[in-house]
A and B are shown apart, each in its own frame.
Chain A
Amino acid sequence: MLETVGLTKEFRGFAAVTDVDLRVRAGTIHALIGPNGAGKTTCFNLLTKFLQPTRGRIRFKGRDITGCNPAEVARLGLVRSFQISAVFANLSALENVRLALQRARGGSFDFWRSEDVLHVYDGQARALLEDVGLGGFADTPAVNLSYGRKRALEIATTLALDPQMMLLDEPTAGMTHEDVDRVVALIRRVRQGRTILMVEHNLSVVEGLCDTITVLTRGRVLAEGDYATVSANPEVVAAYLGRADA
């Protein structure tokens, strides 16, 4: 589904990501883990073209997307979420989701038309909000939602694009236990027919959810495989799970 060859990003001589060959198979949930500063988020930014790689190619559905811009990538069906919750703060939850649904109209340059035409998406938007447990918050400005609910709203917005592949940047970061369980259940539910690549620190989430795990340290791929393989790898244990021995 998504494949990178020799992906490298250097910032003024500092190599954030070096020679990463990543293969995400269609229909799987693939986790990207590694200690802080390992280059996970940089990887995400490269894959979604928010950063331009120094070297290497990116292929999505067999198509080379190395030269695309971020909006084009999103339109191809590769949609990302952000580490810091990225919602449209002063818009209501419903409007947040509707902005994604509105993409179905193509460009929205019709400034002469009333926004009433957007009400056709309201039902769909409410259903999506219901799905992520935000049914009662449709008219709440996103800024007033709790942290966990903001993340849920973000996932709802991403889902609204019906992407073939989702890139989730730490979907459960900073969440309470119940919120984590809710998001994990949500991801399980929406994985049907989708490919997911996620950065995640919570290893129990990774263990229960992900088919393949790639461990990144200092910008390089250290190990890859399923949870059992990776967690048995002594190098990984040393680099990342070291504390587990103590």
Chain B
Amino acid sequence: MLGFTRAQAIGFVAMVAVIIIGPAVLYPVFLMKVLCFALFACAFNLLIGYVGLLSFGHAAYFGMGCYVTAWTAKNLGLSAELAILLGGLTGAGLGAVFGWLAIRRSGIYFAMITLALAQMVYFVCIQAPFTGGEDGIQQVPRPPLFGAISLQSDMAMYWLVAGVFLLGFLLIHRIVHSPFGQVLKAIRENEPRATSLGYRTDDYKWVAFVLSCFLSGIAGGTKALVFGIATLTDVHWTMHGEVVLMALVGGLGTVFGPVAGALILNGMENYLAQFGSWVTVTQGVIFVLCVVAFRRGVIGELAAALRLKL
């Protein structure tokens, strides 16, 4: 089905089932947050897991997606799908420029350039009038979908978020399993060899980068509408740190890893919130444990144990 292996198809059906049943058991707003971050983590994973590019600046695309969606929904009264799409396009546009600059370097230098550019975006956001500086953009209304379907109730919004997430998830799956995705994997495995076969590897990396930024912007925009707010937190590099953690805990280069990671991390944040700063400490410990003992992440280890591709 859709190019999934049998195990992946079962995983996918299980995931859809959880998404459908979830709001009956758990707080829908929490689940929406999980889904937004899951999409963000999947977008990040597209680069690190399938192209081998470690970006450190994805907060910029996520955060700018947040701002643009929030701003257009609030000030232009755009309908929900247009506002979110604009958020995604902003991420893609920014990613197109930044990626073009960063792709010329590899490894740690690539990571540093993406981080530096993302920090520039952060400082622009502090100063620029349209972001509201320290206050952010608050009280963003949830505009109706297609200008007709009200999203005021959390459940209506939940189905939109679930739809956006699933579309994004399937898009990533398609990208990975397309002729383009084959070349990406070749680049990940052995870039000089891919070059010697006549592939202009920089161009492929750039397109993958822009796609990842687009989906990050979509995730950001969706989150802005869920919470009705866009703030500096969304563009700060710590936001990127969280998403790295999610992808890592879940399992880099696995299809479901980032989703599981998003669920685990957000779950901890939400349900351990009463312990205050201990959440951060616990996250740190988990991060260290993952790096030391469970390199493949939760899903990665599970897949290895079951000898399946998940």
Do A and B truly interact?
yes
Contact partner, A74, options B181, B195, B211, Cβ 8 Å:
B195
**In the complex, A137 has a CB within 8 A of chain B:** no
Query: Which residue of chain A has the shortest Cβ distance to B201 in the bound complex?
Result: A71
Closest beta carbon of chain B to A181's beta carbon, Å? 26
**In the complex, A56 has a CB within 8 A of chain B:** no
Residues in B with CB closer than 8 Å to A112 are: 174-175, 178
Give CA–CA (A114, B178) in the complex, Å.
5
B180:A109 contact, CB within 8 angstroms: yes
Residues in A with CB closer than 8 Å to B153 are: none
Give CA–CA (A110, B189) in the complex, Å.
20
**In the complex, A58 has a CB within 8 A of chain B:** no
A161:B198 contact, CB within 8 angstroms: yes
Question: Chain A, 61-92, contact with B by CB distance < 8 Å: what is the 0/1 string?
Answer: 00000000111001100011110001111110
Question: Chain A, 86-104, contact with B by CB distance < 8 Å: what is the 0/1 string?
Answer: 1111110001001110110
Residues in A with CB closer than 8 Å to B303 are: none
Query: Which residue of chain B has the shortest Cβ distance to A71 in the bound complex?
Result: B200
Contact partner, A157, options B177, B183, B197, Cβ 8 Å:
B197
Residues in A with CB closer than 8 Å to B182 are: 91, 95, 98-99, 102, 108, 115, 118
- Interface of B toward A, CB cutoff 8 Å: 3, 174-175, 177-183, 185-186, 189-190, 192-201, 203-204, 207, 211
B178:A88 contact, CB within 8 angstroms: no
Interface of B is mostly: helix
B198:A71 contact, CB within 8 angstroms: yes
Give CA–CA (A71, B200) in the complex, Å.
6
B183:A99 contact, CB within 8 angstroms: yes
Residues in A with CB closer than 8 Å to B177 are: 114-115
Give CA–CA (A103, B261) in the complex, Å.
37
**With A87-B193, A103-B198, A108-B182 given, can you name 15 additional A-B contacts, CB distance below 8 Å?**
A71-B198, A74-B195, A74-B196, A74-B197, A88-B190, A90-B185, A91-B186, A103-B197, A107-B203, A109-B180, A110-B180, A112-B174, A115-B177, A115-B179, A157-B197
Closest beta carbon of chain B to A141's beta carbon, Å? 10
A79:B196 contact, CB within 8 angstroms: yes
**A: number of interface residues (CB 8 Å):** 38
Give CA–CA (A102, B190) in the complex, Å.
16
Closest beta carbon of chain A to B178's beta carbon, Å? 5
**In the complex, A117 has a CB within 8 A of chain B:** yes
Residues in B with CB closer than 8 Å to A245 are: none
A103:B199 contact, CB within 8 angstroms: yes
Query: Which residue of chain B has the shortest Cβ distance to A157 in the bound complex?
Result: B197
B179:A113 contact, CB within 8 angstroms: yes
Give CA–CA (A134, B127) in the complex, Å.
62
A80:B190 contact, CB within 8 angstroms: no
Between A75, A86, A111, the greatest number of chain B beta carbons within 10 A of the residue's beta carbon is seen for A111
A115:B192 contact, CB within 8 angstroms: no
Closest beta carbon of chain A to B120's beta carbon, Å? 28
Residues in A with CB closer than 8 Å to B199 are: 71, 103, 108
Contact partner, B3, options A81, A90, A99, A115, Cβ 8 Å:
A115
**In the complex, A48 has a CB within 8 A of chain B:** yes
A79:B3 contact, CB within 8 angstroms: no
Closest beta carbon of chain A to B303's beta carbon, Å? 14
Query: Which residue of chain A has the shortest Cβ distance to B172 in the bound complex?
Result: A111
Query: Which residue of chain A has the shortest Cβ distance to B180 in the bound complex?
Result: A111
B174:A111 contact, CB within 8 angstroms: yes
A87:B190 contact, CB within 8 angstroms: yes
Give CA–CA (A75, B195) in the complex, Å.
10
Give CA–CA (A212, B174) in the complex, Å.
50
- Going nearest first, the 9 A-B pairs with the smallest beta carbon separation are A74-B198, A88-B189, A111-B180, A86-B193, A108-B179, A111-B175, A75-B198, A71-B200, A70-B195
Closest beta carbon of chain A to B96's beta carbon, Å? 14
Residues in B with CB closer than 8 Å to A108 are: 179-180, 182-183, 199, 204
Residues in B with CB closer than 8 Å to A113 are: 178-179
Residues in A with CB closer than 8 Å to B181 are: 111, 115
Give CA–CA (A103, B201) in the complex, Å.
13
Residues in B with CB closer than 8 Å to A178 are: none
Q: Decide yes or no: A86 and B204 within 8 Å by CB, A71-B198, A99-B182, A99-B183 being known contacts.
A: no
Return 28 A-B CB contacts under 8 Å, by A number. Answer: A48-B196, A50-B196, A69-B200, A70-B192, A71-B201, A82-B192, A86-B190, A87-B189, A88-B186, A88-B189, A88-B193, A89-B189, A99-B194, A99-B197, A100-B197, A102-B179, A107-B203, A108-B179, A108-B182, A108-B183, A108-B204, A109-B180, A111-B178, A111-B181, A113-B179, A114-B3, A115-B178, A161-B198
